[in-house]
Amino acid sequence: MHEAIWIIPLAPLVGAYINGKLAALYARRGRGPSEKLIAAIGVVAPLVSFVVACSVFLHFRGLEGAERMVIVDLFPWIVSGNLNIGFSLMIDSLSMLMVLVVTGIGTVIHIYSVGYMHGDRGFARYFAYLNLFMFSMLMLVMGKNLLILFVGWEGVGLCSYLLIGFWYKDLANAAAGKKAFIVNRIGDFAFLIGMFVLFVATSRMGEGTLDFVALRAMVSEHPQAFAATATAAGILLFIGACGKSAQIPLFVWLPDAMAGPTPVSALIHAATMVTAGVYMVTRLSFLYLQSDVAMAVVATVGAFTALFAATIGICQRDIKKVLAYSTISQLGYMFAALGVGAFSAGIFHLMTHAFFKACLFLGSGSVIHAMSGEQDMFKMGALGKKMKITALTFIIAAVAIAGVPPLAGFFSKDEILLYTFTSHLQPLGMVLWGLLFIGAGITAFYVFRAVFLTFFGERRYTDEVAHHVHESPLSMTIPLILLAVGSIFAGFLGVPGVLGGSNHLHHYLEPSIGLLAAHGDDVSHAVAAGHASQSAEVTLMVLSVLAGLLGIFVAYILYIRRPDRPAQLTMKLGRLYHLVYNKYFVDEAYDAMIVKPGYLISNRFLFNLVDVKIIDSIVNTIGVGTRLMGSLFRLLQTGVVRTYAFFFLIGILYVIYKMVG
């Protein structure tokens, strides 16, 4: 059974195909099959994947370390010269975890979507895209080589584009989709070059390859030879990851991506796709470990993004925007972890984040659904009484992200903070820790600001809206409950030793990123990171919990006890508030510095001068000249047969002259 892992990506692909056909049918006829059929196909497809994934997981349970590996070579894919790339899938510990997260949370969100998208004209289209996304994402995490990963990488990008612009009739949505696609392309470009660099480097070493297993063997054999490559390829690939995982400077697309349906935001723009970069870096951990520079870049960008995005989250009014910036910030935490060599901590946070952030998004979706599409938190309030399940699950997830023990976020975030603090990259590690520590407090503040504004306090909406406010249907609340349960318990997979746990996850992932230990001495001291004294560890832990609690307390004071204070503070801070409220004017800066000059150069210089004036005139001259020559030669064709005989004779005489003479 576990050999049949190809079913895992295939099932959603089949689902996407069938629903795509149904959507096309609907588009042509104006009416189509019932929503029930579409929903059944759409939900069963990821469910099948999940079941198969679980069976593989059970199979793995009895195996030790490196044995946890299934490889299926489907067919040779690109064979050309010394380039030989097979279409091969692989599941090891790391992929296993990712597949479980993707299919598990994916299935839950598919179920939620059935309720959320009820009655939408594009119901079949929606599920076709969503299934196609599942397929792409699974290819991404199951690919045995970098190229298949890249296919999945592009595939999820495409689906993201399609789903952001799902309600494409609103131009703003279509524009948001385009923005996401273009920003991602910038990253992908770097990603491609990174792949080329790797291929060239391995070609020089012997056989060019992009296969993870082969690459890893090669790197572990000649670690020194890969130092320069690791820096170049590592940074280039990380730029790709910045695009996909919304890190500085390519994060600008993610807030706009909230234009898509909320379940999409939960699945693609919080739980799975945006974590692709984290997965990729972890997958290539053996390579990154060869370069301190690349690692430092990853860690620094991650930590800065974590704080930067968190501060923007403070001032947002739109509930989904808050969550979007929160996602960017949390992804920053993950990258910070990867950068200091704590790969398993990064993946751990990826997993817990998938639960609580999906839960938050779906909760917000439930709220928006109830509020007839209103997303401004300042027009909500006191919803907790009317939407008990939504409120409860939302609060659980909020506590989880705030890092309050013993919920999921506490363990994973704490591990990251610990590893940054004790990183071998000192004093960088301390600075990063500081950033992340402040970020943790802010995180707790903005997420509870959202909680208090939405579910508590006074009612700030009209009676008309109030009339429609209701708890969401079961198909939406059950996923919420499932995810909330996950947010509570997922953290127990990685209880640190100091609290009496044994960090199961860390051991589980070890074979996939085991090189860390193998080179503990010379290349990386990251392994030593966990070896801080127990008292220090506990101190850090207490500090981070306190930061979280402080954040919650401040939010409570500002938005429940003294609801008049925020407005006063806004007035007082004036400029600073304006700056943060407008997201530091990053979009505007990009527009002024890159988009506008680029457009001007393209239009004035490249188009009007180079293309029209220079290239076109050269081409036209050649064209006219060629035709002129054709017309000249045509004059020889007199139509008189004796002329033809004459030219024949000339030809023969010339031939003879050349031959004999």
Partner 1 sequence: MITIHHYLTLSALLFFIGVFGVLYRRNLIVIFMSIELMLNGVNLSFITFARYTNTMDGHVIAFFIMGLAAAEAAIGLAILVMLFRNRRTVQADDFSLMRD
Partner 2 sequence: MPAFTIDVVYQLMPLVVLLVGGLGFMLAGAMTRSAGPLQRGFALATLFVTLLYVFKLWGADAGPILHGMLIMDRFALFFLVVVIICALGTILISNGYLDRFGLNRGEFFSMVFFSTMGMGVLVSAYDLISVFLGIELMSLAIYVLVAFRRRDFFSNEAALKYFIMGAFAIAFYLFGVSLIYGLCGSTNFEAIAVAVSERNLAQQPVFLLAIGLIIGAMGFKVSSVPFHMWTPDVYQGAPTPITSFMATAVKAASFAAFLRLFYTCFMASKDQWVGIIIVLAILTMTIGNLVALVQRNLKRMLAYSSIAHAGYIMVGLVALSVDDTKAASAIMYYTLVYAFMTMGAFAVVSLLERRADERGLEGGDYAGLGLRRPFVGLCMAVFMFSLAGIPPTAGFFGKYYMFSAAVDQGYVTLAVIGVLNSAVSLYYYLRVVVSMYMQKSDEAAPTYDDYATRFVTLVALLAVLWLGIGPSGWVPGVETILDWTRASLAGVLELSSR
Binding residues for partner 2, rule: CB under 8 A, are 623, 626-627, 629-631, 633-634, 636-637, 639, 641, 643-645, 647-648, 650-652, 654-656, 658-660
CB of 78 to partner 2, least distance (A): 16
Which of partner 1, partner 2, none binds 659 (CB below 5-8 Å, type-dependent)? partner 2
Q: CA 332, CA 430: separation in Å to the nearest integer? A: 16
Token pair listed for 175: 């524009």
What's the one-letter identity of residue 565? R
Could you tell me where the beta strands, DSSP code E, fall in 188-319?
none
CB of 624 to partner 1, least distance (A): 18
Which of partner 2, partner 1, none binds 571 (CB below 5-8 Å, type-dependent)? none
Binding footprint of partner 1, residue count (CB under 8 A):
10
CB of 658 to partner 1, least distance (A): 19
Which of partner 2, partner 1, none binds 75 (CB below 5-8 Å, type-dependent)? none
Which of partner 2, partner 1, none binds 171 (CB below 5-8 Å, type-dependent)? none
Between 639 and 661, whose beta carbon lies closer to partner 1?
A: 639
Torsion of CA 586, 588, 590, 591, to 10 degrees: 160
CB of 644 to partner 2, least distance (A): 4
What x-and-dash track marks residues 603-642 binding partner 1 by CB under 8 A?
A: -------------------------------x--xxxxxx
Which of partner 2, partner 1, none binds 630 (CB below 5-8 Å, type-dependent)? partner 2
CB of 641 to partner 2, least distance (A): 5
Between 78 and 652, whose beta carbon lies closer to partner 1?
A: 652
What x-and-dash track marks residues 564-603 binding partner 1 by CB under 8 A?
A: ----------------------------------------
The residues pairing with 83 across neighbouring beta strands, listed in sequence order, are: 80
Between 571 and 632, whose beta carbon lies closer to partner 2?
A: 632
Rg (Cα) of the chain, in Å, rounded? Answer: 29
374 near 368, Cβ under 8 Å? Answer: yes
Q: CA 48, CA 102: separation in Å to the nearest integer? A: 13
Q: Please identify which residue in 645, 651, 654, 656 interacts with partner 1, judged by CB under 8 A.
A: 645
CB of 625 to partner 1, least distance (A): 19
CB of 657 to partner 1, least distance (A): 16
Phi–psi pair at 145, nearest 5 degrees: -135, 170
Nearest CA to 456 out of 568, 323, 367, 567 is that of 367
Between 467 and 634, whose beta carbon lies closer to partner 1?
A: 634
Between 171 and 659, whose beta carbon lies closer to partner 2?
A: 659
Q: CA 421, CA 426: separation in Å to the nearest integer? A: 9
CB of 253 to partner 1, least distance (A): 59
Task: Kindly list the distances between the CA atom of residue 279 and the CA atoms of 101, 284, 448, 453, 512, in Å, as whole numbers in the listed order.
Answer: 12, 9, 29, 34, 11
Which of partner 1, partner 2, none binds 626 (CB below 5-8 Å, type-dependent)? partner 2
Which of partner 2, partner 1, none binds 29 (CB below 5-8 Å, type-dependent)? none
Could you tell me where the beta strands, DSSP code E, fall in 225-303?
none
The H-or-E segment that residue 350 falls in is helix 343-370
CB of 376 to partner 2, least distance (A): 50
Between 75 and 633, whose beta carbon lies closer to partner 2?
A: 633
Helix (H, G, I), strand (E, B) or coil at 469: coil
Between 609 and 649, whose beta carbon lies closer to partner 1?
A: 649
Nearest CA to 123 out of 211, 36, 224 is that of 36
CB of 10 to partner 2, least distance (A): 25
Helix (H, G, I), strand (E, B) or coil at 424: coil
Between 571 and 640, whose beta carbon lies closer to partner 2?
A: 640
Which of partner 1, partner 2, none binds 647 (CB below 5-8 Å, type-dependent)? partner 2
- How far is C-alpha 344 from the chain's CA centre? 18
Between 293 and 653, whose beta carbon lies closer to partner 2?
A: 653
Strand duo 83-92 + 69-80: pairing: antiparallel
Between 533 and 620, whose beta carbon lies closer to partner 2?
A: 620
Contacts of 49 (CB under 8 A, 6+ apart): 7, 8, 9, 11, 12, 99, 103, 106, 134, 138
Which of partner 2, partner 1, none binds 206 (CB below 5-8 Å, type-dependent)? none
Q: Please identify which residue in 542, 619, 628, 649 interacts with partner 1, judged by CB under 8 A.
A: 649
Between 182 and 650, whose beta carbon lies closer to partner 1?
A: 650
Nearest CA to 394 out of 369, 367, 412, 372 is that of 367
CB of 617 to partner 2, least distance (A): 17
The single-letter DSSP state of residue 522 is T
CB of 623 to partner 1, least distance (A): 19
Token pair listed for 230: 């690791």
Token pair listed for 476: 């939406």
Between 553 and 646, whose beta carbon lies closer to partner 2?
A: 646
CB of 607 to partner 2, least distance (A): 23
CB of 660 to partner 1, least distance (A): 15
What's the one-letter identity of residue 311? T
Burial of 64 (0-12, 13-18, 19+ CB in 10 A): exposed
The single-letter DSSP state of residue 85 is E
Q: Please identify which residue in 378, 585, 607, 646 interacts with partner 1, judged by CB under 8 A.
A: 646
Nearest CA to 363 out of 401, 405, 411 is that of 401
Between 293 and 650, whose beta carbon lies closer to partner 2?
A: 650
Which of partner 1, partner 2, none binds 74 (CB below 5-8 Å, type-dependent)? none
- Report how many helices (DSSP H) and strands (DSSP E) the chain contains, helices first: 29, 2
Between 66 and 655, whose beta carbon lies closer to partner 1?
A: 655
The H-or-E segment that residue 75 falls in is strand 69-80
Q: Is 659 in the site for partner 1 (CB under 8 A)?
A: no
Q: CA 52, CA 11: separation in Å to the nearest integer? A: 10
- How far is C-alpha 51 from the chain's CA centre? 24
The residues pairing with 89 across neighbouring beta strands, listed in sequence order, are: 72, 143
Q: Which residues bind partner 1 (CB under 8 A)?
A: 634, 637-642, 645-646, 649
